[in-house]
Amino acid sequence: MKRAFARRASTSVRAADSVCGPRTVCRTVLAFALACGLAGCSPVDDSAQDAIEEEAALPADSSASADGMDFSYSDRDLDASYDESSATAIALSDEGVSIAGSGASVQDGLTVIESAGTYVVSGSLSDGAIQVAGGEQDKVRLVFDGVDIHCEDGPAVSVLSADTCFITLADASSNSLSDGASYTLAEGEDEPNATLYSKADLTLNGTGSLAIAGSYRHAVCSKDDLVIAGGSYRLSSAEDALRGKDCVKIADGEFSIDAGGDAVVSTNDEDADRGFVSIDGGSFSLTAGDDGIQAARYVRLAGGTFDMQAADDAVHSDVDALVGGGTFSIAAGDDAFHAEESIAVQEATVDVSSCYEGIEGAQVYLQGGDVRIVADDDAVNAASPDASQDGVAEQEEAPGQEGAVPGQEGAVSGQDAAMPDQGEQAPPSAMPADGRNGEWSGPDGSGGQGAADAGAGDLSQGIADRPAQPNADASGAAPQADAAGGGAGMGDASCVIEITGGYYVLESGGDTLDSNGSIALGGGVVLAQSAMGTSDFALDYDIEATVDGGVLIALGGTGMAQSLTSGSQAFAMANVEGSAGETISVVDANNEVLASFTAQCDFVAAVASASGMVEGSTYRIVVGDAVSGANEDGYASQGVLETSGATEVTASCSAQSGFAGAAPNGQQAAARMPGDTSVG
Task: Write the pLDDT tens digit of every residue in 222-231.
Answer: 999 999 999 9
**Of 111-120, 395-404, 551-560, highest mean pLDDT:** 111-120
Across the range 309-315, mean pLDDT stands at 99
Q: Is 369 exposed, middle or buried (0-12, 13-18, 19+ CB in 10 A)?
A: buried
Indicate the range of 39-48, 120-129, 638-647 predicted with least confidence.
Answer: 39-48
Distances (CA, A) of 59 to 69, 292, 578: 14, 24, 40
pLDDT above 60 for 576 = yes
Indicate the DSSP class of residue 567.
Answer: E
Query: What does the pLDDT read at residue 223?
Result: 98
Indicate the DSSP class of residue 669.
Answer: P
Indicate the DSSP class of residue 486.
Answer: T
Query: What does the pLDDT read at residue 662?
Result: 27
CA angle 550/553/556 to nearest 5° reads 150
Q: Which residue has the higher pLDDT, 569 or 434?
A: 569
Across the range 558-585, mean pLDDT stands at 93
Across the range 56-63, mean pLDDT stands at 47
Nearest Cα residue to 241 out of 449, 7, 65, 18: 7
Nearest Cα residue to 69 out of 225, 219, 265: 225
pLDDT above 50 for 16 = no
Q: Is 465 exposed, middle or buried (0-12, 13-18, 19+ CB in 10 A)?
A: exposed
Q: Are 89 and 99 in contact (CB under 8 A)?
A: yes
Tell me what percent of the residues of the chain surpass a pLDDT of 90: 68
CA distance between the termini of the chain: 59
- Specify the DSSP element, H or E, that contains 541: strand 539-541
pLDDT above 50 for 388 = yes
Query: What does the pLDDT read at residue 26?
Result: 30
The per-residue pLDDT for range 361-383, each reduced to its tens digit, is 999 999 999 999 999 999 999 99
CA angle 655/657/662 to nearest 5° reads 110
Query: What does the pLDDT read at residue 643?
Result: 75
pTM above 0.85? no
Cβ contacts of 168 within 8 Å, gap of 6 or more: 80, 82, 141, 142, 143, 144, 204, 205, 206
Query: What does the pLDDT read at residue 408?
Result: 37
Which amino acid, one-letter code, is at 196? L
pLDDT above 50 for 4 = no
pLDDT above 50 for 421 = no
Query: What does the pLDDT read at residue 585?
Result: 97
Indicate the DSSP class of residue 366.
Answer: E
Query: What does the pLDDT read at residue 642?
Result: 79
Q: Return mean pLDDT, the chain.
A: 79
